[in-house]
Amino acid sequence: MKPDLSVKPKLVVASANPDKVADLVRLLGERFEVVARPTDAPETIEDQDTLEGNSVKKATEIAEFSGCAALADDTGLFVAALDGRPGVFSARYAGEDASYQDNVDKLLGELSGVGDEDRLAEFRTVVALILPDGSGVTGEGSVSGVITSEPVGEQGFGYDPVFAPDEGEGQTFAQMTREQKQEISHRARAFRSLEMALERAGNILG
Ligand code: IMP
């Protein structure tokens, strides 16, 4: 019997962040039935010291809980002049309950007095797709750029207003449309890398 190609494999998204879920549906919705994280799923403690460690931990816990394939990503902004900070702590840079604005303010404060040529930074994402039996694949993506001296632009989220990618002709991510950002973003690249890893692994989603 031929497989029914109209039935997409189900993927539970480990993140509860609506910005990220919207991104994931846009990136993977054609290929997978993207399902939101179950509301009663326990919160993962992101205590690993690498993006890969945290993304695999999050996806593994949700796959075990839901009994379905699960997808989790972890992103960090690595700033050269700050020895790679905030890195894996990007979400909590200005404290446990820090807002996007708090984190941006702290970053600009730490970089005050640092010249344009020394404001190099990189966004990196690792995405993990893990099955209930614990097997799975990961993908990685990054984008290089600079931290601007002040926030510019209204789009996006997080550090977007202060990150100008090298390929962006001086614009910050927050000045780009979603489509422009998606062309070059760390997360989109990590998903393309995951898709290639999935193809290499065969159709592990059945
Ligand atoms: P997470 O691992 O995706 O939760 O990302 C950690 C932190 O990095 C988030 O709290 C955001 O502030 C920031 N971040 C992640 N992705 C992006 C992005 O695409 N643009 C700007 N900031 C981001």
Give pLDDT tens digits for 114-148. Answer: 999 999 999 999 999 999 999 999 999 999 999 99
Residue 15: per-residue pLDDT: 79
Q: Give the residues of the chain that fall short of pLDDT 50.
A: 3
Task: Look up 97 and say whether it is catalytic.
Answer: no
- Residue 160 CB less than 6 A away from ligand 1: yes
CA-nearest residue for atom 13, ligand 1, is 158
- CA dihedral angle for residue 51, residue 144, residue 91, residue 116, rounded to 10 degrees: 140
Q: Which of 74, 83, 97, 102 is catalytic?
A: 74
| Position in ligand 1 atom list of the atom nearest CA 74 | 2
The whole model's pTM is what? 0.90
Domain residue ranges of the chain, discontinuous segments joined by +: 10-201
The CATH architecture one would assign to domain 10-201 is Alpha-Beta Complex (3.90)
Residue 9: per-residue pLDDT: 80
Q: Alpha-carbon distance 53 to 80, whole Å?
A: 22
